[in-house]
Amino acid sequence: LPVLLHSFLYRTAAASASLPTFLLVGPSGSGKTAFATLTERTSIAQTHTSTQPLTIEALLPSPHVPASSHYRSPGDPAYERSRRFLLLDTPGHGKLRHYATASLSDPKSIRGIIFVVDAAALAEEPGLNEAASYLHDVLLSLQKRYTSATSSKGPTGIPVLVAANKMDLFTALPANLVKHQLEKAITEVRTSRAKALRDAGAALSGGEDEVDEEREWLGEGGEGHFEFSQMQEIGTSVSVVGANVLGGKETGSVDGWWEWIGENL
Ligand code: GDP
């Protein structure tokens, strides 16, 4: 029995490992678990605790079509297979973010990153700053992955969906403002990080060292405003799409998010 069990587990793990994977990240309370629960699940790979990432095998719901299957018809086994993907729900708690960053350092099967934010929390400074510094770090990991790549053409870019959730709340910022506020707050994060690095460098070397500032600076080298479009340089497109996981169809749905997943599947 143990041998059978082992081979079963091994095969399951191997089959799952090859599925396209989307990382679910973002501050806690933004709605990641609610979204993961909403997906049509075919299996759950791990017991969820607040300190462990949760892997969910999901299906892209129709009428959404995986980009890889535009020329196939429903019923074709290859079409059905192409609808399968994994959602890796990572804990949002600050100390546990290394799970998300660890997956980013080995992103072979990572097709995209879904960064869930509470669009109502972004209307307040603490919520905005928390989301911006987390998103800054995610984008910086993607940039480092790109700039430290050894192959000449660079790794395939990983797209990011800023999933602006809780649009059913009347305090929620609309998607265009979510984008604007996050870009503005990331500009501030970037400036204060650069200053901290310069200060640390000055303390170490008596003022001369630039402490690899280039590698720690998100986006184009210039001093100006950060914009998500600057991530195109590292092959990463950032889309901001509003939705609400809960709160009913009248106020919207997560169709825009499915569409984005389909485009990257
Ligand atoms: P996580 O920490 O990111 O996994 O967040 P959860 O999925 O646990 O959601 C946090 C809270 O937000 C829960 O109380 C959810 O019921 C609530 N929530 C999630 N999505 C929505 C939404 O679209 N609208 C509203 N009003 N509440 C939501």
* pLDDT given at position 81: 86
Domain-embedded: residue 151: yes
pLDDT value for 193: 84
Residue 131 falls inside a structural domain: yes
CA torsion, points 168, 37, 259, 30, in degrees to nearest 10? 50
For a mutational test of ligand 1's pocket, the pick from 35, 116, 166, i.e. the residue with the most ligand atoms closer than 8 A to its C-beta, is 166
Query: What are phi and psi for residue 165, nearest 5 degrees?
Result: -95, 170
Q: Tell whether ligand 1 has an atom less than 6 A from the beta carbon of residue 252.
A: no
Per-residue pLDDT, 166: 95
Beta strands 21-25 and 110-118 are parallel
| 245 within ligand 1 shell (Cβ under 6 A) | yes
Q: What is the CATH number of the domain that holds 65?
A: 3.40.50.300
Residue of higher predicted confidence among 16 and 245: 245
Provide the domain limits for residue 88. Answer: 20-174+229-263
Cβ–ligand 1 contact at 165 (below 6 Å): yes
Rounded to 10 degrees, the C-alpha dihedral 40/41/47/49 comes to -20
Minimum-distance ligand 1 atom for the alpha carbon of 36: 7
Residue 7 confidence class, pLDDT cut points 50, 70, 90: very low
In a domain, 48, yes or no: yes
Residue 222 lies in a domain: no
Instruction: Tell me: pLDDT of 159 over 60.
Output: yes
* pLDDT (average), residues 126-149: 90
The more confident residue out of 143 and 200 is: 143
Number of domains in the chain: 1
Most ligand 1 atoms within 8 A of CB, residue of 87, 165, 171 to mutate: 165
pLDDT for res 139: 92
CA of 216 to the centre of ligand 1 (A): 32
